[in-house]
Amino acid sequence: MENDETRTDSRALADDREAKRLLKLVEARDEAAFTSLYRMQSRAVYAFVLNHLRNPTEAEEVMVDTMYEVWRHAGQFQGQSRVRTWILGIARNKMLMKLRSLRRFDHDDVDDLPDGVEYEMVKDEPDAIDMIARTQEQDGVRKCIDKLAGMYRECLHLFYFEECSIAEIAAVQQVDANRVKGRLFQARIKIKACLANLCRDQGRPI
C-alpha cells in the first residue's frame, strides 16, 4: 500500500489551493465563486452520498443540502484539512440525518472489528483491494462492494476513488485512524471471500 503521506499528488494540492481561494470568496458572499466551487465539488459529494443511500433522488437532495450548508457556513472552515474533506464531512452528517428521518438503518453502524488490534496498511501480493482500483466496473468486484456494510463501502470510496489519506477518512467518519485501517482491512477480507464464492458458484478456479 502506498505511504499515507504520498496519497495527495500535486494536482490534488493545486485543486485544494483553488478550492480554498474560492471558499474565502464564498465567505464574503461571492455568488460566482460559489458557482465555481459547486461545480468543483458537487459531483464528488453526490457520488459519496449515493454510495450509501443507493437512491439518486435522495443523493441529489443531500448533495444540494450539503452545498447550501457550505454557502451558509464557509467561514467555519479552519484550513486544517482539504476543502473536499471538510465538505464530505458535512455531507456525511447530512446523509446520516436523512437516514434517521427515513428510519432506514441496518448493520452499517456496527463495526465487526476486535478492540485493541493495531492495523497496519501493508502492501503484499496483488489482492482484491488492488483489483477494485484497477477494475471499478468489473461485475464481480462491484457486486462484492455492494454487499459491504455502508461504513466499509464509504472507506473504500474515500481511499481509492477520492484518494483521501487515512487521517482524512478518520476526520470524515469521526473515528481514529486505526479504526479506518481496520475497516479497510476487513473490507479486503470480505471482498476476497465474496469473490471466492462467486468463482465457486460460476465453476471457475479460485
CB 186, CB 80: distance < 8 Å? no
- Burial class (CB within 10 angstroms; exposed 0-12, middle 13-18, buried 19+) of 172: buried
Round to whole Å and give the CA distance between 98 and 94.
6
Q: Over the stretch 47-65, which tens digit does the pLDDT of each residue have?
A: 999 988 889 999 999 999 9
Is residue 88 located within the same domain as residue 140? no
Is residue 8 located within the same domain as residue 55? yes
Round to whole Å and give the CA distance between 39 and 133.
25
Round to whole Å and give the CA distance between 82 and 145.
26
Q: Over the stretch 117-148, which tens digit does the pLDDT of each residue have?
A: 565 654 444 455 555 545 544 666 777 888 88
CA dihedral 59, 172, 187, 8 (to 10 degrees): 100
Round to whole Å and give the CA distance between 151 and 139.
21
CATH number at residue 134: 1.10.10.10
- pTM, entire model: 0.73
Q: What is the pLDDT at residue 123? A: 41
Cell of 192: 476476497
Is residue 41 located within the same domain as residue 60? yes
CATH number at residue 55: 1.10.1740.10
Classify residue 206: in a domain, yes or no. Answer: no
Q: What is the pLDDT at residue 1? A: 45
Domain interval for residue 195: 109-201
Is residue 83 located within the same domain as residue 113? no
Q: Over the stretch 85-104, which tens digit does the pLDDT of each residue have?
A: 999 999 999 998 888 887 66
Domain count, the chain: 2
Q: What single-letter DSSP state applies at residue 109?
A: G
Domain end position, chosen among 105, 123, 155: 105
Is residue 98 located within the same domain as residue 140? no
Is residue 156 located within the same domain as residue 89? no
